[in-house]
Amino acid sequence: MNIFGFSVPAGYEFIINLVILLIKIGIVVGITMLHVLYATYFERKVIGHMQIRLGPMRTGFHGFLQPVADGLKLFFKEDIIPAQADRTVFKIAPVIFVFAALSSLAVVPFFDGFVIANVNIALLYVLAMSSLGAYGVIMAGWASNSKYSFLGGLRSSAQVISYEVALGLSLVGVMLMAGSLNLSEIVSAQQQHWYGMFLFPQCIGYFVFMVSAFAETNRTPFDLPEAESELVAGYFVEYSGMRFALYYAGEYIGMIVMSSIAVLCYWGGWTLPPFLLKALPFLAVVPGIVWFLLKVYFHIFLYYWVRATVPRYRYDQLMGLGWKVMIPLALANIVVTSVVRYIVP
Amino acid sequence: MNPMTPGSYMPTEYFPVLITMVIASAVGFGALFVGNLFRLKRAYREKLMAYESGNPPLEEPRYRFNVKFYIIAMLFVVFDVEAVFLYPWAIVYDKIGLYALIEMLLFIVVLVVGYVYAWKKEAFVWD
Amino acid sequence: MLPKIFFGYFAVVMVVLSLLIVTRKNPVHSVLWMLALFFHIAGLYLFLNAEFLAAVQVILYAGAILVLFLFVVMMLNLKEEVMGERFGKEWPVGISIGAFILVLFFFTINKFSQGPTGQYTIERIKAETHTKAIGSVLYTEFLLPFEIASLILLIAIVGAIVLAKKTK
């Protein structure tokens, strides 16, 4: 084995590989955490400007140090565990939530060949981890032993499981087109077509996926579980300090993961459509990670945009939308895609 | 030709997933542990009460809830199983072709019957 | 050697977790231990070269069925449940039946012999991926069981609604 010109004596390959792996995971987790920090800043900035306000301005240039200040504040905040709470479950719930969100990053490829674990069932793994996140929510609601938390946790888990069906079904269209569950292979399958993105043939699937992703990550217009005006903060009303920060971070990591999956499955990941490259060949110089990040940033911006535009759904409307609109749409998409795929292979 | 017995196969490609999971839980527990070293601990009885807009909590919070949640959970299990059947089908669809198309249409039709029944019985109406 | 250590770990931990599940007083704690158990079962599937089954184990059992359990458990009156006796009066009967089955296993375990090797070897599944291998068998050879599964799911939908819905 050879690394940067140095030959590694036999028997040490495992250690070297482990170190490389740890560095990779460190980079991915570190950069994601940085993105989480600044996603909160840009959320406040973007929504501020959409509402003709300035957003945070005081800490640093145009409030650029605001997330650091917020983080430090949360870090030194007192951690309160309600006297009536189930202490063990109360403590473990936020860790489950963050664990589920961070573990999903293991299978996300960021550019050609850069992925922590190149597994065959990557898409299913992401679905499995997103269903694990529901436990963080429902357990927090139950363990807090408060009415607001309990109701918030119940509502949220019912919402998450309803939209999870639609999320899974909407991805079947992509699986049909790509014939694989491996995210890197899904990206390269999109390059086989001149349009280079499943976004065009799978526009219904993409729509269902995005709506479900919004609901899965409990974002507006589906932020019923934490509906500030009704349930104060829903399932995590009793959480404070670092535990609250874990829920906050988990939500943003979930947004980043869902945006990445949307980009990889529908927007061609780090690649550009072949017709665009043919027209503008100089774009090939730009490394793939730039395109990937730009597409992910667009989706995160979409989250903010929708939040600033659309009012919150009522709970019955939310469940009705999930079961009566999204699931039939996803099923219809599967039938149409498979029939078209049979006629035009 | 190795027969598949327990403990004869090593899924090496999942090793990074395991390490990521370890690091993910380390991030969670680590953040709490480090925070624990710095933060204040000044709890008193009122602070430790469950939040109810400043009033003392009235009744048992873990009350029995609407049976609707239960119906939704059961329907979710059914539709999740259906989705799981669709994943391998989508993967091998190109290989099997028309045969796969017809059998999956049959499968979906049977489930749509159940779906329509649930709709007619107002399982998706939240009141 | 290494896979054997992992197998031993999974086997021991699964038994320990199962014991924890049945001995917890608070049913919600049992559900949490069950979550850990399902992840270990998924891990064991990985070591049997069945990655699709591992994913399905987590998606269906941990993600769907256990949520249903949790809803049912939350519907119970936990206060009474936790105050009551940990085991019902019948527990000696249960233990003796369990012990009998254990002894039965103990005497029959070396009578097991390995069946003939199928056409799907480790190498073939590696080349084809487990999901494809399952799909190409399930949707051709096992067509009838697959369609019957859809009928069973239909019965499940009808049953859930008939049981839980009030007649008007």
Do A116 and B32 count as a contact with CB atoms less than 8 A apart?
A: no
CA distance A280 to chain B (A): 33
Which of C19, A245, A129 lies closest to B31, judged by CA?
A245
Residues of A in contact with C64 (CB under 8 A): 131, 161
Residue A201, CA distances (Å) to A176, A177, A187, A214, B89 in order: 12, 9, 15, 22, 19
The structure tokens 């097991």 sit at: C112
The structure tokens 């997933």 sit at: B17
Give the pTM.
0.91
The token pair at A127 is: 């679905």
Please name the residue of chain A whose CA is at the shortest distance from the CA of residue B100: A338
C75 CB within 8 Å of a chain B CB: yes
Sequence-distant (6+) residues with CB within 8 A of A285 are: none
Q: How many CB atoms lie within 10 A of CB B21?
A: 17
Contact between A45 and A63 under an 8 Å Cβ cutoff? The reply is yes
Question: Contact partners of B by the rule of 3+ C-beta pairs under 8 A?
Answer: A, C
In chain A the first and final C-alpha atoms are separated, in Å, by: 43
**The pLDDT value given to residue A331:** 93
Calculate the average pLDDT of chain B.
82
CA distance B14 to chain C (A): 8
Is the torsion defined by CA of A72, A75, A80, A85 positive or negative?
Answer: positive
Please name the residue of chain C whose CA is at the shortest distance from the CA of residue B113: C154
Contact between C146 and B107 under an 8 Å Cβ cutoff? The reply is yes
Residue C4, CA distances (Å) to A225, B1, C39, C47 in order: 45, 19, 18, 10
AA identity, residue A195: Y
Please state the rounded mean pLDDT for residues C17-40.
90
Distance CA C126, CA C137 (A): 16
CA distance C83 to chain A (A): 15
Do A158 and B20 count as a contact with CB atoms less than 8 A apart?
A: no
A330 CB within 8 Å of a chain B CB: no
Residues of B in contact with A185 (CB under 8 A): none
B/e letters for A15-53, b = 16+ CB within 10 Å, e = fewer, are: eeeeeebeebbeebbeebeebbbebbbbbbbbbbeeeee
**Greatest pairwise CA separation for chain B in angstroms:** 71
At A318, give phi and psi (nearest 5°). -60, -50
Residues of C in contact with B104 (CB under 8 A): 139
Distance CA B88, CA B109 (A): 18
Write down how long chain B is. Answer: 127
Q: How many CB atoms lie within 10 A of CB C115?
A: 7
Residue B2 in this model has a pLDDT that exceeds 50: no
Do C52 and B88 count as a contact with CB atoms less than 8 A apart?
A: yes
**The pLDDT value given to residue C100:** 94
Do A128 and C59 count as a contact with CB atoms less than 8 A apart?
A: yes
Residue B1 in this model has a pLDDT that exceeds 60: no
B/e letters for C118-131, b = 16+ CB within 10 Å, e = fewer, are: eeeeeeebeebbbb
Contact between B104 and C150 under an 8 Å Cβ cutoff? The reply is no
The structure tokens 């792996």 sit at: A21
DSSP H helical ranges for B1-127: 15-38, 68-96, 98-120
Do C56 and A124 count as a contact with CB atoms less than 8 A apart?
A: yes
Question: Contact partners of A by the rule of 3+ C-beta pairs under 8 A?
Answer: B, C
State which of A12-16, A252-256, A318-322 shows the largest mean pLDDT. A252-256
- Give how many domains chain B has, as a whole number: 1
pLDDT tens digit string along A157-184?
Answer: 888 888 999 999 999 999 999 989 999 9
Architecture of domain C1-84: Up-down Bundle (1.20)
Write down how long chain C is. Answer: 168
Do A88 and C29 count as a contact with CB atoms less than 8 A apart?
A: yes
pLDDT tens digit string along B14-52?
Answer: 889 999 999 999 999 998 888 888 877 777 777 777 776
The distance from CA B78 to its chain's CA centroid, rounded to whole angstroms, is 13
Residues of B in contact with A243 (CB under 8 A): 32
Torsion-angle region of residue C14: left (phi > 0), alpha (psi -120 to 50) or beta? Answer: alpha
B1, B2, B10: best mutation site toward chain C, by most C Cβ within 10 Å? B10
Q: What is the CATH number of the domain that holds B73?
A: 1.20.58.1610
CA distance A316 to chain B (A): 5
AA identity, residue A157: S
- DSSP, collapsed to helix, strand or coil, labels residue A2 as strand
**The pLDDT value given to residue C48:** 86
pLDDT tens digit string along A71-124?
Answer: 888 888 888 888 888 888 888 899 999 999 999 999 999 988 888 988 999 999
The token pair at A14 is: 């495992």
Tell me the helix, strand and coil percentages in chain A, rounded to 5. Answer: 70, 0, 25
What ipTM does this complex have?
Answer: 0.88
pLDDT tens digit string along C77-90?
Answer: 666 666 667 677 78
Domain membership flag for residue B7: no
At A184, give phi and psi (nearest 5°). -65, -40
- DSSP, collapsed to helix, strand or coil, labels residue B66 as coil
A88, A107, A142, A149: best mutation site toward chain C, by most C Cβ within 10 Å? A142
Domain ranges (residues) in chain C: 1-84, 117-168
The token pair at B34 is: 């480090």
Higher-pLDDT residue of A262, C71: A262
Q: Which of residues 22-51 of B touch C (CB under 8 A)?
A: none
Please state the rounded mean pLDDT for residues C91-120.
86
Please name the residue of chain B whose CA is at the shortest distance from the CA of residue A237: B51
Do B114 and C158 count as a contact with CB atoms less than 8 A apart?
A: yes
B/e letters for A157-177, b = 16+ CB within 10 Å, e = fewer, are: bbbbbbbbbbbbbbbbbbbbb
Task: State percent of chain A over pLDDT 90.
Answer: 44
pLDDT tens digit string along A58-72?
Answer: 888 888 899 999 888
Contact between A159 and A319 under an 8 Å Cβ cutoff? The reply is yes
Higher-pLDDT residue of A4, A212: A212
DSSP class of A6: E
Residues of B in contact with A225 (CB under 8 A): none
Calculate the average pLDDT of chain A.
87
Q: Which domain holds residue B91?
A: 12-120
Domain membership flag for residue B125: no
Sheet strands (E) in A83-156: none
Distance CA C32, CA B63 (A): 21
- CA atoms within 13 Å, Cβ hemisphere of B13: 15
CA distance B31 to chain A (A): 7
Residue A1 in this model has a pLDDT that exceeds 60: no
Q: Which residues of A touch C (CB under 8 A)?
A: 86, 88-89, 92, 119-121, 124-125, 127-128, 131-132, 134-135, 138-139, 142, 154, 157, 161, 164, 168, 180-181
Distance CA A101, CA A23 (A): 19
A84, A252, A333: best mutation site toward chain B, by most B Cβ within 10 Å? A84
Select from A149, A172, A242 the Cβ nearest to the Cβ of B31.
A242
Do C149 and B14 count as a contact with CB atoms less than 8 A apart?
A: no
A190 CB within 8 Å of a chain B CB: no
Contact between C71 and A137 under an 8 Å Cβ cutoff? The reply is no
pLDDT tens digit string along A282-316?
Answer: 888 888 899 999 999 999 999 999 988 888 888 88
- DSSP, collapsed to helix, strand or coil, labels residue A42 as helix
Q: How many CB atoms lie within 10 A of CB B42?
A: 8
Contact between A29 and A102 under an 8 Å Cβ cutoff? The reply is yes
Please state the rounded mean pLDDT for residues A6-18.
75
Select from B75, B76, B124 the Cβ nearest to the Cβ of A320.
B124
A277 CB within 8 Å of a chain B CB: no
Distance CA A104, CA A124 (A): 10
Domain ranges (residues) in chain A: 81-343
Do C130 and A120 count as a contact with CB atoms less than 8 A apart?
A: yes
B68, B86, B106, B112: best mutation site toward chain A, by most A Cβ within 10 Å? B86
Residues of A in contact with B47 (CB under 8 A): 80
Contact between B60 and C146 under an 8 Å Cβ cutoff? The reply is no
